[in-house]
Amino acid sequence: MLFAGIAWSADGYEIAFADQETPARRFGGGELPDLVTFLTHVDQPLAIVVESTNGAVDGFLLAAGLTVYRADPPAIDDSRPDFGSIAAQSLAQLAAQGLSSLSELVTEEGSLTGRHLPPSAAFAPAGSELEARGRALGCVKHGPRNRPSIALSFDDGPHPVFTNQILEILARYDARATFFPIGLSASGLGHLLAKAAAAGHEVGNHTWSHPYLPDLSAAGLREQIERTSDAISNATGARPSLARPPYGSLTADVVDKWTGFEERIALWDVDSADWARPGADAIASKVLGEIKPGSIVLMHDSGGDRSQTVQALPSIIEGCLERGYNLATVPELLAPRLHPE
């Protein structure tokens, strides 16, 4: 079996192999589809390792039928910098030394398969101390419940195919939405963010590499947010006013580190579960069965094969409109009045 590690940096991704005979390869931030194509053409059984600060690639790999493992802090040394992962070669060597210290990922559970997660403000009960600390940071999970408006949101983009398809569907219904792109992808596909912003959609911040935030230092978290906001600003001409922690991982430790950021934290109260690829009908049914006034709906325009999301979107939009909901951006949803008199 051939063992490969995938590292990320400010410039993109590197793939290295434990045998050190297969040449390493580099891919830009907007070239994830090319990275997956390269790995699917490796002509021998392959085990791929990513680490917990790199949540942008595993969905693509799993959708392509590849075998993926995750290395968590207990399995790696202290060589990881504040910004960037440990070396791809080191990740490949971890796998070669034995897969038992790593977690094998499955599509149905996603990037954090098998990981014990601490309580998060994203899912903490209303009135709990952690939920209150999240609210003190400006964290929102939904808008006012007394107005017939909801916000559709799309994470992990942009993607050269799926983002365009979603924008076309939204335009067909004259509907606005909010996109939370990853900085690495935004740095290579900024024209898609510019296209979304020009169409009236909101663009927020979803970190640079889609890390599990509790594994970052305070300096690493700040750089993830600031670099991503810079990339979005370069693409759209406007700095984002919103940020969304990957996995909703706003733990007590992350709350302590999340200081001085201008971006307001926007979570969600309806998870479409499209990341698990349960089928377009299941995605639409889940969203339409759970929305209520003020809901923020979580979907994805990248991070893997999002063809089911694209297929489900017309039914979701039509179902919302039939129920009398306005489709707003998150800032519009949170505004005192959606349509001032």
Name the residues annotated as catalytic.
Answer: 155, 300
* Separation between Cα atoms, residue 320 and residue 288, nearest integer Å: 7
**Residue 295: in which H helix or E strand, if any?**
none
**Under 8 Å between Cβ of 33 and 50:** no
Q: Which amino acid would we find at residue 298? A: L
Please state, in angstroms and rounded to a whole number, the distance separating the CA atoms of residues 5 and 310. Answer: 31
Distances (CA, A) of 5 to 87, 97, 250, 313, 326: 8, 13, 28, 35, 45
| Contact residues for 33 (Cβ-Cβ < 8 A; gap 6+) | 60, 159, 160, 161
Q: Is 140 helix (H, G, I), strand (E, B) or coil?
A: strand
Neighbouring-strand partners of residue 49: 5, 69
Supply 55's token pair.
């949540």
Q: What are phi and psi of 134, to 5 degrees?
A: -65, -45
CA dihedral sign of residues 45, 303, 102, 76: positive
How many angstroms separate the CA atoms of 55 and 304, rounded?
A: 11
User: CA dist 201 to 84, 107, 167, 213, 285, Å?
Assistant: 30, 29, 9, 26, 24
- For residue 205 the two structure tokens come to 């911040």
